[in-house]
Amino acid sequence: MKALEKSKPEEGLWMVEAPVPEIGPEDVLIRVKRTGICGTDIHIWNWDDWASATVPVPMITGHEFAGEIVELGRNVDGLTIGQRCSGEGHLVTHDSRQSRAGKFHLDPGTRGIGVNEQGAFAEYLRLPAFNVVPLPDEIPDEIGAILDPLGNAVHTALSFDLLGEDVLITGAGPIGIMAAAVARHAGARNVVITDVNPDRLDLAAHVVPSVRTVDVSREDLHDIIPELGMSQGFDVGLEMSGNQNALDQMIDALVMGGKIALLGIPPGTSPVDWSSIVFKAITIKGVYGREMFETWYKMIAMLQNGLDVSRVITHRFPAAQFHEGFTAMKSGRSGKVVLDW
């Protein structure tokens, strides 16, 4: 099969001929149709410090996918050949305290496809049946291929009650933009999204027209608060940039007793104004991945009930043109980039 692989410990990815994966009794084999390119894949392409310390070579990359089941392991039931599906790319153990409590997303033994295990940038993917998420007919493959990052947005956005609340999202990358759509869908009153990249803010306004975009290199959040009829500030913050200044601004613009869900990953360690967090009595929650499988359930239900994130996909390429796909992602001007296998 064709597969996009980190074949050597250096910058780049290579399209190779790889054997079709053999499945075990609890696995399924998926014919991959569409995949999304993630920031993680860019780290692996660039072979930065994180990637070279984490990813063994050779490794088929990619973890955002949709496809169709073509083979079932002998112990698998409840799934059928021909079933369209996406799937959770975090592979968990079932014997940790967290897993036995049903909190699979907190399993310390989690391994990621396309990072620690052979991934989805390929014609075929082996996946434990446990991780398969069937796709309803009304969700097309290209949306199926971005359910992993939409799930990050949903998991973060639904961390706190948003109904009637004023929500600040820092970082208008694909995940921040999708979180804005989710916050709207979940009944937030005002949704404000910040960035320092005007292309990203234009995309946010295109995907979620009712959101207020703020270029924090030109505008001050303090001016936005009265403009939108808020008196104190934002009730909930969703940090989706990984940028220290964005977190500082968020803490500053939150109400007393405000809540923050942190998805963005800052590079290395960074100073935090803890006294503001204490005096404002702010609650902070770190968010990793998606809840298995409540996030998947909620996001599919929302997509069936009018949530529309389709315009966040800005580029589509045949898998053979992966170079163009990665160039678009690295430009900082794209939303989601989807490859067709």
Binding region for ligand NAD (CB under 6 A)? 39, 152, 170-176, 194-197, 200, 216, 240-243, 245-246, 263-265, 287-289
Binding at 110: pick from ligand NAD, Zn ion, none (beta carbon under 5-8 Å per type): none
Radius of gyration of the CA atoms of the chain, in A: 20
Residues in the chain: 341
Interface with Zn ion includes 38 (CB under 5 A)?
Answer: yes
Nearest residue (CB) to ligand NAD, 83 versus 327: 327
In whole angstroms, give the CA distance from residue 289 to residue 131. 13
Q: At what angle do helices 294-304 and 147-157 cross, to 10 degrees?
A: 100
Q: Which of 43, 54, 93, 327 is catalytic?
A: 43
Nearest residue (CB) to ligand NAD, 76 versus 295: 295
- Tell me how far, at minimum, the Cβ of 264 lies from ligand NAD, in Å: 4
Nearest residue (CB) to ligand NAD, 123 versus 202: 202
- Tell me how far, at minimum, the Cβ of 59 lies from Zn ion, in Å: 15
In whole angstroms, give the CA distance from residue 62 to residue 70. 19
213 counts as catalytic: no
Give the number of other CB atoms < 10 A from CB of residue 226. 9
Binding at 141: pick from ligand NAD, Zn ion, none (beta carbon under 5-8 Å per type): none
Nearest residue (CB) to ligand NAD, 32 versus 177: 177
Binding at 196: pick from Zn ion, ligand NAD, none (beta carbon under 5-8 Å per type): ligand NAD
Window 122-161: residues binding Zn ion (CB under 5 A): 148
- Tell me how far, at minimum, the Cβ of 78 lies from ligand NAD, in Å: 28
Q: Which of 35, 40, 295, 314 is catalytic?
A: 40
Interface with Zn ion includes 204 (CB under 5 A)?
Answer: no
Binding at 50: pick from ligand NAD, Zn ion, none (beta carbon under 5-8 Å per type): none
Nearest residue (CB) to ligand NAD, 68 versus 248: 248
In whole angstroms, give the CA distance from residue 180 to residue 191. 7
156 counts as catalytic: no
| 194-199: Cβ within 8 A, 24+ apart | 194/168, 194/169, 194/170, 194/221, 194/241, 194/246, 194/249, 195/171, 195/241, 197/172, 197/332, 199/332, 199/333
Q: Is the CB of residue 3 less than 8 Å from the CB of residue 60?
A: yes
- All residues at 6 or more sequence positions from 138 whose CB lies less than 8 Å from its CB, including other chains: 303, 304
**Nearest alpha-carbon partner for 340 in 142, 115, 126:** 142
- All residues at 6 or more sequence positions from 124 whose CB lies less than 8 Å from its CB, including other chains: 1, 20, 21, 29, 30, 31, 32, 70
- Tell me how far, at minimum, the Cβ of 252 lies from Zn ion, in Å: 30
- Residue ranges that bind Zn ion, judged by CB under 5 A: 38, 148
Show which residues are catalytic.
40, 43
